[in-house]
Amino acid sequence: MIESMPQPFVIDPDGRTPGWGPSLDHRFRFGLDAVETVREGRTQLRLGFEADVLTGQVAGATWGLSDLDERRRHVLGLAEPGSVALRRLEGGIRTGAGDLQVGATMSHWGLGLVANDGAHDPWFGRVDFGDRVARVRFATAPLGADVPLFVIVAGDRVLADEFARTSQGDDAYQGLLSVLWRTEAGEAGLYSARRVQTDADGYGLQVWVLDATASVRREVQGGDLRLAFEAATLLGSTDVLRTAQSAEGVAVRNGGAVGMVEWLGERHGLLGKVAWASGDRTPDDDVYTAFRFDRDHNVGMVLFDEVQGATELAAIEQGQDPDRGAVSQPGLPNLATEGAFQSAFALQPAGVWAPLNFLELRAGAVFAWATGPISQPVQAALNGGAPTNPIGEPSDGRYLGTELDWAIGTRVPEDWSFRPQLQVQGGHGWTSEAWLGGQRVDLLLVTGRLRW
């Protein structure tokens, strides 16, 4: 159960707010895995199942903006369409030659920059999605069991991610090839994918995804030190976006990277993240260079998840409004990202302290800059093409804002099979004058979990 208590903030020149107020969410996630070893231990058979049910907003104020946001904050009820999501229904067999897996599953790679299963708790905020695919995958150790080098080949029919949803009539397919070196001390890998997609409205996307990740673990000063890195680029074309210079579509050339350091001792720890996503400095040309992270890889909990997610939906609504007549892009609804980190550079330091065995305190900050002009496309078009922010004011500079986050939660030993947890989180964002006129936005999340 999640109780959300956001503060209203202005998102357009008309003074509108998201309309969302205090609300109560619910999600029940359950699964079952079975493993059987046969043929004198040389063959392993697996079956796995996992699903989310009774998902949605139970009570409170609903979202006053578009229903393009997949978090379903525009409706109340646990039996509405979208309240059930199959996460895994898969089978596998492992032999000396390799591991074969077939069925519906979650897609995850590295730090979740591009492929994210939505099952990794962020430092602050919440995760709501997970990339779901129907996959045939074969993994093998080509140099033998004593060499930890793995090659993975897979084919996907995308069920739901930030770019496509089969429930909305989108067709998306991926072919994947990955190489991974994994030991207890860390891992390093290369991931490549070819994605071909046709949306329900007939617009398409064809891109190559290239991704590199690495992580190292060491014991330092009595604590666990983890250094991790991931960088990705997308190369291809799409006609979802069109510009005055390229009425038939644009080339895609963008990239992003994230670096993380975590040092966790018995009672305290330090966390740090650097995130970068390329921006589009020339949005009217024939190349799209803005990059966005997977929506389940959080950088903070207010500025991107809430503020940017809301202003983005307002921009899409304005772009579809025939009375404005400023910008018209048929594929505009496909650009909703549910608050994903995009076109920005951010620093996120944080600290953890456990004053008691059962209590944990967290505090952190986010400092964010835009990697392209701070500009909302509809308002910029109405202003003759000059950079203009979402509330209709000319924008200058690149600083987006500052965010302070905190959390108080219970700690449960890892070896407990039944793990009740309670957490209270607060996020306080101050937008820059250039972005949203220096508004302050507060969000309080109260989360109760029962895991077993």
User: DSSP of 33-102, one letter per residue?
Assistant: EEEEEETTTTEEEEEEEEEEEEEEEEEEPPP-S-TTSTT-TT---SSSTTS-EEEEEEEEEEETTEEEEE
Task: Kindly tell me the burial class for residue 231, based on how many C-beta atoms sit within 10 Å of its own C-beta (0-12, 13-18, 19 or more).
Answer: middle
Report, in angstroms and rounded to the nearest whole number, the Rg of the chain calculated over CA atoms. 22
Please tell me whether residue 379 adopts helix, strand or coil conformation. helix
Closest among 28, 25, 27 to 2, alpha carbons compared: 25
pLDDT at 381 over 70: yes
CB 290 within 8 A of CB 280: yes
Look at residue 435 and tell me whether its pLDDT is greater than 60. Answer: yes
User: Does 352 score more than 60 pLDDT?
Assistant: yes
- Alpha-carbon distance 333 to 213, whole Å? 31
Q: How far apart are CA 128 and CA 118, in angstroms?
A: 7
Q: How far apart are CA 59 and CA 349, in angstroms?
A: 34
Q: Which residues contact 166 (CB under 8 A, 6 or more apart)?
A: 157, 158, 159, 160
CB–CB of 205/195 below 8 Å? Answer: yes
Lowest mean pLDDT among 199-213, 315-329, 338-352: 315-329
pLDDT of residue 357: 87
Kindly give the pairing relationship between strand 344-356 and strand 204-220: unpaired
Domains of the chain: 2-451 (2.40.160.10)
The single residue listed with the structure tokens 């991107």 is 304
- Does residue 172 register a pLDDT over 80? yes
pLDDT for the residue numbered 1: 67
Read off the pLDDT of residues 199-219 as tens digits, 9 standing for 90 and up: 888 888 999 999 999 999 999
Phi, psi dihedral angles at 147 (to 5 degrees): -115, 115
- Enter the pTM of the model: 0.91
pLDDT of residue 39 exceeding 90, the answer is no
CB 441 within 8 A of CB 425: no
Q: Which of 109, 23, 96, 101 is nearest to 63 (CA)?
A: 23
- pLDDT tens column, 107-125: 999 999 999 999 998 999 9
Q: How confident is the model over 402-424, as pLDDT tens digits?
A: 999 999 999 887 777 777 889 99
Average predicted confidence (pLDDT) for the chain: 89
pLDDT, tens digit, 9 for 90 and up, residues 46-100 = 999 999 998 888 888 887 777 777 777 788 887 777 788 899 999 999 998 999 9
Kindly report which listed range (19-23, 171-175, 208-212) carries the lowest average pLDDT score. 19-23
